[in-house]
Structure 1
Amino acid sequence: FNSENQKELQKIAEYLSISLESILLNEQILDVAQEFNGEVSRMEFDSVREGDFIAESPAMRELLDLVSVLHDTPVNVLIQGENGTGKELVAKMIHDNAGKEGRPFVPVNCACLPEALVESEFFGHEKGAFTGADKRRKGRFEEASGGTLFLDEIGEMPLIVQPKFLRAIQEQEGTRLGSSDIIKYNVRIISATNRDLAKEVEQGDFREDLFFRLFSVEIEIPPLRERREDIMLLALSFLKETNEKFKKNVSGFSPKLLALFDEYPWPGNVRQLLKEVERLVALTKDDLLMDVETCSRELRTFANTNYVPEKRKSDDDLSIPDQVKSLEKYLIHAAMKKAGGNKTQAATYLKITRQGLLKKIKRYQLDC
C-alpha cells in the first residue's frame, strides 16, 4: 500500500463525501420546495387585495382595516409616507369605501403649483380678475364638492395662502378671486405628505391652526423595505399587468432575481418596483424568465456589491460538484438571513458545525 494508493483513496473519499452531501442537500431542497409551495398556496388564499392594493404584511393589513373603518366616518385624513408608497391609492380607497364612488375625486399636487397661482387654483377666479383671466374658472374646492379633495404634498403649500385655506376647511366656504360672493363647499379633505408636518409647524413653515384642522385621523404607510412580505405578490401582480399592457408573455422571475428583489431596499418603494418590472418585461423575450442581467443599473450595482444567492444550475449540468456548490451557497445565504447574521444559529439550521460553516464561507468567498 504505497503513497499513490493513498492519494487515490483520498480522491475517492472526497467524491463519496460530495455525493453524500449532495443527497442530504437534495433532501433539504425538497423540504424547502414543499414548504415554499405551501407558502405560495397560503398566500394566494390568505393575502388581501383591495382593488389595485395588495396587502400580505401585518402592517398593510392593519392599514386596510383602518381604511374600512373610515368609510362610516367622513373625517379629514392625513396620509404620511415616503415617495412611491401609494398615498394617492390609499386616498382613493378611502374615497370609494365611503360610498363616494362616482362622485368627484380631485387630486392636486401642491408642490407643482406656482405660488402666484395657488389661490386661483383652489378657489377659482372671475373673468378679468387678473391678467390672462379671460373667463370664469371654478376652483378645486368647487370641483370636488360632494366628493373628496386630495392634497398631495400638503407640506409644500405656501404660507401666504394657508389662512384662506384654513377658512375653507373650517367653514366649508370661500370666494373666487375677483368676487365677494361666498360659495359653499361640501368637501372631504384627504392630505398626503412625505414630510414631518409637526416639525414644519415648530420651524414656522406651516400654520399650527391649519395643521390641527387639516385632519382628525393620521395614516402612516410603511416603506416597502419594512413590508417585504408584499414584494413577491406586488411583483407578480405587476408582471401580469405589464404582460397585458405590452402584449407580451414573459414567464416570470428567475430565483436569483427574486432573491435580489427580496434583498434590495427599494428607496423608491412600490413605484420603483413597478418601473423595474416594466423594464424587465420590455427587455425579456416571451416564454423566458426575467433575470438580474436586465435589471436597472441601481439593482445590478446592488447585486454586485451584496451577495445574492445564485440560481440553481440547470438540469443539463450533471456535474455533482457544481450542483453541490450552487446549492450550498444558496442554503448558506438562506440560513444566514434566517439567523440574522448569527453564524452559530445558521450552522444549526444547516445541521453542520460552526467551523464547517466558516470553512464553506471561506471556500466560496461569501460575503456573510
Structure 2
Amino acid sequence: MNIKKSSILILVLCILLCSCQQKEKGKIVIDVPAGNSMANSYINSAGIAFEKKDYNSALTDYLEVEKIFLNSESHTNNNELAGIYSMIGRCYVQLSAYHKAKDYFEKSLPISEKLLDDKLNFENYFNLLKINYSIDDGNLELALEYGKKAEKTALDLYGDKSSEMGEVYSNIGKVYCNMGEFDQANKYLQKAIIIMDQLYGQDNENSAVIYEKMADIYRKQGEYYEAEGYLNKAEEILKKYKNYYWLAVVYSDFGNIYWENEKYENALDYYNKCLEVYEIWGKVDFDLAKYHYWKAGALYNIKSYESSKQEMLLAHKICEDLPVKSELTSTLVLSIKDGLKIYYDYNYDGDKSTGFEMWYEDLISSQMVQ
C-alpha cells in the first residue's frame, strides 16, 4: 500500500472544489426597517468586511443580524431576511464551508421566490448551481435545474450578451462535464467564451477561467495533449493579469494530469509552482493546505519519505490555523492522518512501542516542521 491510494480520494474531491471559488461579486443591498439601529450597524460593518474580503468578520456580523431578525416579530418571509441568508451563504462559500453555504442559500430561496425578487433569485440559483456540482455529495441533476433557472433569470434581467449570462453558461458547461456529457459541456463553454471575448476583448481573465474548464473536458476523456493546450492558454492570460487564485488552479491541473499518468516528478514541479504563486500572493487558505498535501503525495511516490512527512505536517498546521473549520478542512485533516499512518507503517524506523496514535499525537502537538 502507498500514499497514492489515500491521496487520490482527496485529489478527486479537491479537483471538483477548485471551481467553486470564483471572483466574488459585490454585497447584496439589504434594507433594514427604520429604527433597527443594531441590525443596521451589523449590516454596515458586515458589508465593509465583505468588500475587504474579510469573510470571517463579515460572517460573524451577518450571523448577529440573523439573530436579531429571528428574534423580532416581523421576520417571517421578508426580503431582508432572504438577503441576510444569501450573504451568509456567500461568506461560507468564501470560507470553503460549502454545506453550510448550501443550507443558507436554500433558506433564502423560498423567500425570494415567493416575493418575486429576481435579482436575489438569480444569486441563489447561481450559487446553488455551483455548490451542487462541486460538493462531494452534490446533485448534478439539481445543479442543472438551478442552472436552467439561473439562465432564464439572467436572460430576463441582464440580457443574452451579459457577463452574468456568460458565467451561467460557463457553470452549466461544468455541470455537463461532470455528468460526462462532453458535447453539451463544450457547447455551453464555447457560448460563454464568445460572450466574454465580446465584452472584455480577446485574452481576458474570464475566458481564461473557461479555458481551464475546457481543459477538464479533455482531461476527463484522457486527451491530455488537448487539455494541456487549453491550460497553456489560460496560464498565459492569468500570468498577465496576476490572477493568483486561478493561476494556482491551472498549475494544479497540470500537476493532476501528470499525477494521473504516474509522472510524479513532473507533478511535483507543478505543485511547487502552486506554492510559489501562493508565496507571491501571501494568501493562507484551505487551497494552500491542499497543495502542500498534493506535494506530499508526489514526494512519497518518488520515495522522498521524510520530505513527504514534512509537507503533510505543513498542510495540517495550515488547516489547524484557519479561522473557520469547514467540512473540507476536516476531510483533509483525516486524509493527512491516513498518509502519516502509511508513512509510520512502511517508512518510520524509530520506536514504535507506543503505537501510531501516540506517535501521531506527539508529532502533531510538537509540530515538528522544518
Structure 2 length as normaliser, TM-score? 0.23
Structure 1 length as normaliser, TM-score? 0.23
Q: Greater share of helix residues, 1 or 2? A: 2
Bigger CA radius of gyration: 1
